Amino acid sequence: MVVKLKILLLLIGVLLLAGILRLWQLGSVPPGLNVDEVSEGYNAYSLIKTGKDRYGMAIPVIFKSFGSYQPPIYTYLTTIPVLAFGPTAFAVKIVSALSGIAVVFFTFLIIRGRLGLLAGLVLTISPWAIFFSRMGTEANIGLAIFIAGFYFLLKSAKETAYFPLAAFLLGLATHAYYSERILSILLLTGFVLINYKIYLKSKKLLFIGLVIFGLTQLPHLAILKSGAFTRRLDQVTYFNRGIPVVREFVSQYSEYFSPRSLFFEPDDQVSRSMPDLSVFYRWMVVPFFFGFAYLIRNYKDGFVKSLFLLALIAPIPAALTTDPFYSLRVFELLWTFSIVISIGIWVLLSKVKQKTLRYTIFLAMLFISLLSFYVNYFVLYKFERSDTVRFSSTELIKITKERQNEKFVVDLSRDISIGVRTALYRRYDPALFQKEIGEPFLDKYYSSVDYEKEYKIDNVEVRAINWKEDVYKDQILVGDPLAISQQQVDEHKLKLEFELKDLSEEVSLRGYSTNPRQKCLSSPLGSVYCDRLQ
Amino acid sequence: MLGNAWIWRILGSSPFLGLGLMVLSFLLVFNLKIPSLVLLAVLGSFLLKTTFDTNLLYVSPLEKDRIEHRHEYYAQGLGRIYKNRIGIYLNYSVSPYISRYLKNLSYNLDTNLYFFANHPRERAGVNEFEKFSFVLLPFFIVGLIAIFSGSFGFLVFYFALSLLISALAFPGYDLGPILTFPFIVAVLYLGVTRIAKKWL
């Protein structure tokens, strides 16, 4: 009883720590939203206001977004915090943060006892788990639902009555993120095959579970032939690219087990990684090997078999794509490795006989890990990667709001999301957005990935700058140093109004007011706009 | 041992190194600890004499610029925790060298470096080549499982030592982290014998 109370209190402590690491400064670090978050946020806002997404589609099976599609669960769930807090950065990310905490809780439930606490703690402090919980990503809710499904699946091996619930959750996970579409089927099949003797005794429940799983797949079937269902895979896979498929698959698959990628080097995608910090801390490479050694020696255990099954199937969806070590696609693998690491820590700590020394080492590693995360995330990531969440675009939106009487033309060459971002932060009426911008794309919502390239939101036009016309109108042209060069500034008599820097002090956007009269005077050829001025 | 492109490349470049590595592979397979360590020391010294990574002791202008920027970020983000002798010393005089060494170390820990010419995470400016055919990977995995499940402490110790030494060598060295060659051969040997015992 005392032991149980102690474990309960420690579990509350772990969940509190998980909450602090995931919720503290959630709205301000990172200092902005990425493209996907912007899309989720405005679609959620649009659903609340109109019952339709920003293109005017009622209850989409999958959300059309900037040349691709977003699995729906995250956006639907985001309607709740957006309703409560408004369309803010915090509201857009909170579902992911809470999913991260739920994963810690389910991890404890799966393993239980002191090892369960340790596994929960390893997940609580793992860089990948905190980083992605602080990002509004569908993959995180996908992991939470999948791990909940895995928990009930493990329970169903002892009490088959849980099988239908497990099948439902695994089916639901396929609507949360892309990887789960493949993983859920593989896990369900593999797990039933490993435990076929148990399930054959309850054929009825097995059948019900499989029917439920099948029912959850009906929405996918509805869009199967439209192109939307396979669009993402078509974009990222190496099939039909004329390269040896088997070798490519094995090399991609093997990379997900590489200590270099897991412990030393960050994900190549700068928007999905922190400077100098990989998905796990470097020191974790040692318990990782010890954990694996322990599991291999105990491979006959039912839970260990399930863990191996998950570790083997988890990299498959990501290995089908061209991107090297794409951490977002392998959350289930990273979760499994977190368990392996916690087992390794357990094995190593149990070798230390002196209790005080054992706790000292444990607390020292915990402190070093948290300090390391703080430095790499709250300092380096915040300052060095603020451009990945378009910090300066967010600042620009504030300026356009303050200067309501002036007209802005914002170039979108380097930030495709700036139109929707403006609509989100300025709480632009979604009904108007649907009518003015979204409507032309509604007919081919699922069959075409074409998307809007021009926006008009109050006093802001977002599009490519038209140098033949825009310089003859009184307005402010905004773009990055590549969009508006010094030569163009001189040629078109532009005047610098403001300069926006990202947090690394690099200039990322400049706003110039036009001077049509002076431009007309200096232009030997003139323009129809000059005639109007006279 | 000879059924891979790596050893032929090494032999072609330096017969002494090639033969030394082949002998070391035998010594490891037969678990001869002292001779293995002696030969490792000899080959390691030879390797470092010619290919020591001088970048480990040098901070490039680009890195200096990054350190300066980070000095500002740390000062803003960490305040007093950073703005003291130790913090500044760590940023300027420790961190660049440690991170370079760890980067070198991590390259050699990547399975894909040996079986897939480092694909899909090829390094810029490095001539990557496939050291072992990827069809040998299953044997390597079985060998690793054997190491994890059995008592091959010396093999693991050798591997750790060879990694620590190799990380001091220039990562772009044409022949790759050659000191790990005997370990991989030994693991492949273990894998092949395990499979042969099971199936033959």
Q: How many CA atoms are closer than 13 Å to the CA of B67, on its beta-carbon side?
A: 18
Q: Which domain holds residue B139?
A: 5-54+105-199
Q: What is the pLDDT of residue B200?
A: 75
CA-closest candidate to residue B1, choices B129, B136, B134, B197: B136
Q: Are A55 and A439 in contact (CB under 8 A)?
A: yes
**0.80 exceeded by pTM:** yes
**Residue B48: inside a domain:** yes
**Structural domain contains residue B75:** no
Digit-coded pLDDT (tens) for A328-379: 999 999 999 999 999 999 999 999 999 999 999 999 999 999 999 999 999 9
Which among A511, A480, A324 is positioned nearest to A387, based on CA atoms?
Answer: A480
- Phi/psi at A454 (5° precision): -135, 140
Is A292's CB within 8 Å of B148's CB? yes
d(CA B94, CA B59): 11
Q: Would you list which residues of chain A are within 8 Å, Cβ to Cβ, of chain B?
A: 247, 250-252, 254-255, 257-261, 263-265, 268, 276, 282, 285, 289, 292-293, 296-297, 322-325, 375, 378-380, 382-384, 504-505
A526: alpha, beta or left, given left = phi > 0 and alpha = psi -120 to 50? Answer: left
CA distance B70 to A193: 53
Asked if residue A292 lies in contact with residue A223, where contact means CB atoms within 8 angstroms, the answer is no
Please report whether residue B182 resides in a domain. yes
**Which chain B residues are within 8 Å of A254, Cβ to Cβ?**
111-112, 115-116, 137
pLDDT tens profile A64-75: 999 999 999 999
Query: How near does any CA of chain A get to the CA of B148, in Å?
Result: 5
**Span A441-459, pLDDT tens digits:** 999 999 998 999 999 999 9
DSSP state of A524: S
Domain annotation covers residue B90: no
Per-residue tokens: A498: 């403001």
User: Does residue B64 sit within a domain?
Assistant: no
Asked if residue B69 belongs to a domain, the reply is no
Q: Is residue B93 part of a domain?
A: no
Please judge whether B74 and A258 are an interchain contact, meaning their C-beta atoms are less than 8 angstroms apart: no
Residue B86 included in any domain = no
What contacts A303, CB < 8 A, 6 or more positions away? A111, A154
Nearest to A276 among B99, B121, B137 (CB): B99
Q: Number of folded domains in chain B?
A: 1
Nearest Cβ partner of B149 from A285, A297, A504?
Answer: A297
* Interchain CB distance below 8 Å, A264 and B134: no
| ipTM of this complex prediction, to 2 decimal places | 0.95
pLDDT by residue, tens only, chain A of 534 residues? 788 899 999 999 999 999 999 999 999 999 999 999 999 999 999 999 999 999 999 999 999 999 999 999 999 999 999 999 999 999 999 999 999 999 999 999 999 999 999 999 999 999 999 999 999 999 999 999 999 999 999 999 999 999 999 999 999 999 999 999 999 999 999 999 999 999 999 999 999 999 999 999 999 999 988 888 888 788 888 987 788 899 999 999 999 999 999 999 999 999 999 999 999 999 999 999 999 999 999 999 999 999 999 999 999 999 999 999 999 999 999 999 999 999 999 999 999 999 999 999 999 999 999 999 999 999 999 999 999 999 999 999 999 999 999 999 999 888 899 999 999 999 999 999 999 999 999 999 999 989 999 999 999 999 999 999 999 999 999 999 999 999 999 999 999 999 999 999 999 999 999 999 998 888 766 667 777 665
